[in-house]
Amino acid sequence: MSPNPYAWINESLTTIHRADWYRSVQTIHGRPGAMVIVDGREVINFASNDYLGLAGDDRLIEAGVAATKQFGTGSTGSRLLSGHRELHRELEQAIAQFKQTEDALVFSSGYLANLGAITALVGKRDLILSDEYNHSSLKNGAILSGATVIEYPHCDVTALKNLLNQRQNYRRCLIITDSVFSMDGDLCPLPTLLNLAEEFSCMLLVDEAHATGVMGKTGAGCVEHFGCSGKQLIQVGTLSKALGSLGGYVAGSATLIDFLRNRAPSWIYTTALSPADTAAALAAIKIVQQEPQRRNQLWANVDELKKLLQLPKLKLVQQESPILCFQLPSAAAALEAGKQLKASGIFAPAIRPPTVPTSRIRISVMATHESIHLQKLVKALSSIYIYSD
Ligand SMILES: *Cc1c(COP(=O)(O)O)cnc(C)c1O
């Protein structure tokens, strides 16, 4: 008898378990917010990307409901066939205005926006230089494009410059990077990257997924934070984090966007964003622009938490965003810390390989956290670190 061709899957799962890399879902009940119910228990939520607390906001919900009543639940086709609505265009124009770019294009997710943009921009004869800590969607977009991909050490502009000396062997070159790194919370050196891109005649794509709504004076992202608005570059982002909805986008020159509408397969061959998601994202962008106090409160919370965290035992990874990480010696230790935090009413995920090279607890601060939430977090964290010695 021939061996079962699927038997390896179970063996592979056993290996994943043995390494403490096994993952499974946890059920969240009710609306998202600073407090959520996980496994029947109310906990303070430090696990969410909903930085401004908009995903549970009545105005987004009402916009989604109204759009569903008017336009239905599904958009029924791809944008180029039957799926395009005036609402999509309104959202794209709102994104372009927010980002100070000529135009924008919405995708069904941030992941698909990266796949679509990268595969449209480069191919076999081209070079991609990619930060080693980039998000999975950038890495897989690079692989899918068929270009030669070289990773440079995290944020190391000297190493990047050395690699750029190979630039002339390729037709086109694209540098890709997260702007706020999703698992570390630090920022890419954007002004230097822009200078290098210009010097070596390369395109630069920045992924503003964790920066949109959070970084910069008006919340437009790291491009605004670094004073680089209006520069030639390709900005990608998501509608699913601070904007509280679902979807992704590319923002840039009118020519770039027109080209992507013709060449990005993950935009052309997929169903258009649903009316509800589109309307909710549009409502979120308006709120981000009209209510800077939400962003100010988020940063006030980050500052307060950083002050509270000045404890000798905590190994806080340096960060400049609402993402804070605490290194732990192993995947098992990170899992145990996550479990203990949950027992003390704190919901904060253990992030382990292969997502990141080193295990950690990752905290996301929200605008809607209250002082008492931050104090409880610090109390819970310090007790864990005492026991883990
Ligand atoms: C979350 C994230 C994405 C994916 O966005 P989705 O809209 O969730 O698909 C892409 N890039 C980065 C850096 C992210 O953090």
The CATH number linked to 264 is 3.40.640.10
Distance 169 CA to ligand 1 centre (A): 31
Is 309 found in the same domain as 351? yes
Distance 184 CA to ligand 1 centre (A): 14
Tokens at 268, concatenated: 């052309």
Domain span at residue 152? 58-290
Which ligand 1 atom is at minimum distance from the Cα of 111? 9
Is 164 found in the same domain as 310? no
Which ligand 1 atom is at minimum distance from the Cα of 114? 10
Of 262, 230, 339, 257, nearest to 92 by C-alpha is 257
In short, whether 210's Cβ falls inside 6 Å of ligand 1 is yes
Q: Whose CA is nearest to atom 7 of ligand 1?
A: 110
How far from 149 is each of 160, 171, 213, 232, 337, CA to CA, in Å? 13, 14, 30, 22, 36
Q: Whose CA is nearest to atom 2 of ligand 1?
A: 209
In short, whether 135's Cβ falls inside 6 Å of ligand 1 is yes
Q: How far apart are CA 156 and CA 57, in angstroms?
A: 40
Give the count of alpha carbons within 13 A of 188, CB side only. Answer: 35
Which pLDDT tens digits describe the chain residue by residue (389 residues)? 788 999 999 999 999 999 888 888 889 999 999 999 998 899 999 999 999 999 999 999 999 999 999 999 999 999 999 999 999 999 999 999 999 999 999 999 999 999 999 999 999 999 999 999 999 999 999 999 999 999 999 999 999 999 999 999 999 999 999 999 999 899 999 999 999 999 999 999 999 999 999 999 999 999 999 999 999 999 999 999 999 999 999 999 999 999 999 999 999 999 999 999 999 999 999 999 999 999 999 999 999 999 998 876 666 666 799 999 988 889 899 999 999 999 999 999 899 888 888 898 999 999 999 999 999 999 999 887 644 44
Distance 243 CA to ligand 1 centre (A): 12
- List beta partners, residue 45: 347
Q: What share of the chain is helix, strand, coil (3-state, %, to 5)?
A: 45, 15, 40
- Tell me, yes or no, whether 16 lies in a domain: no
Is 364 found in the same domain as 240? no
Of 225, 238, 234, nearest to 252 by C-alpha is 234
Is 222 found in the same domain as 188? yes
Is 263 found in the same domain as 177? yes
Is 210 found in the same domain as 91? yes
